[in-house]
Structure 1
Amino acid sequence: MDARDAIKTGMNAERSLIVPLERTVGHFVKGMPMVFATPMMILEMELASADAINACLEPGWVTVGTEVDIRHLAATPVGATVRTVARVVAVERRVIRFEVEAFDEKRRIGEGRHARGLVNVESFTKQFGAK
């Protein structure tokens, strides 16, 4: 599959999440604050990016995260709503590049870039599947 045939710049998606205790840095690291963890924000950005293009993929194809360049700008407490936004900014043959942002009810809490690579599930499974 050549991504340029189906995916166009400007495609976008949003996700929303009410921050649960299990997604805080304090849940993962003893003694740290119970605020939205940076890796969890990045996960939401990756999922929004995938959501923006999944419907355009040919059967048997998926995308996987290959690059992240993210800044976490502000802390967000448990119970707050986080909204993540992803927008396609460039499409190469097998790589799709996104601008991503995250917001809570008060402000932008994260921003950056993310890339996803096209993967044929059958070929991937043959190479890396169960042995």
Structure 2
Amino acid sequence: MAQNGQYAVGMQHEYRMVVGEADTAAAQCSGSLRVFATPRLVALMEAAAVGLLEDGLAAGQTSVGIRIAVDHTRATPVGDTVRAVAELTAVEERILTFSIVGYDSKGEIGRAEHKRCLVDAARFMGKLEGR
């Protein structure tokens, strides 16, 4: 497993995407409108956190999301670009905490606190066998 020394509080990573029809509340079954869906905002935010960790993982290591608390505060139309900026706010053993802010072309659309746990991928998946 990687040592957490390569992950420093304050590190940031950004992830971007263009909102398509498949990303709407109507398509995601999270509402009836053609606006950026909250489940897709969550995925965007997680992608930013995952991207921050990617280069520091040891061989065979990955991270799994263990908590996310999201406020989705403004609607975004199809065709707009959205982005999430994840900032590492705490490192406690294998648990990493992030503050994440989502934006579209008009400004902030949401905020989250997210926790991820570093795990050995093979061992983690091995625990699922026989379930």
TM-score, normalization by structure 2:
0.92
Q: Is the 8 A contact 2:21 2:27 kept in 1?
A: yes
2 CA distance for matches of 1:117 and 1:3?
13
1 CA distance for matches of 2:87 and 2:30?
35
Cα RMSD, aligned residues only: 1.7
Q: 1:35 aligned to 2:35? A: yes
Alpha-carbon displacement from aligned partner over 1:26-68 (angstroms, at most 9, x marks no partner): 1133971100000100101001001011100111100011110
Aligned pairs for 1:29-108 within 5 A: 29=29, 32-108=32-108
Q: Which residue of 2 aligns with 1:123?
A: 123
2 CA distance for matches of 1:91 and 1:108?
26
Unpaired runs of at least 5, structure 2: none
Give 1:44's aligned amino acid.
Answer: L
2 CA distance for matches of 1:121 and 1:62?
6
Give 1:16's aligned amino acid.
Answer: R
Give 2:100's aligned amino acid.
Answer: V
The alpha carbon displacement at 1:129 in A equals: 4.0
Q: Is the 8 A contact 1:72 1:111 kept in 2?
A: yes
Say how many residue pairs are matched. 131
2 CA distance for matches of 1:95 and 1:113?
13
Q: Which residue of 2 aligns with 1:24?
A: 24
Q: Is the 8 A contact 1:100 1:112 kept in 2?
A: yes
Change (3 A) 1:130 1:81: farther
The percentage of aligned residue pairs carrying the same residue is: 34
Q: Is the 8 A contact 1:3 1:96 kept in 2?
A: no
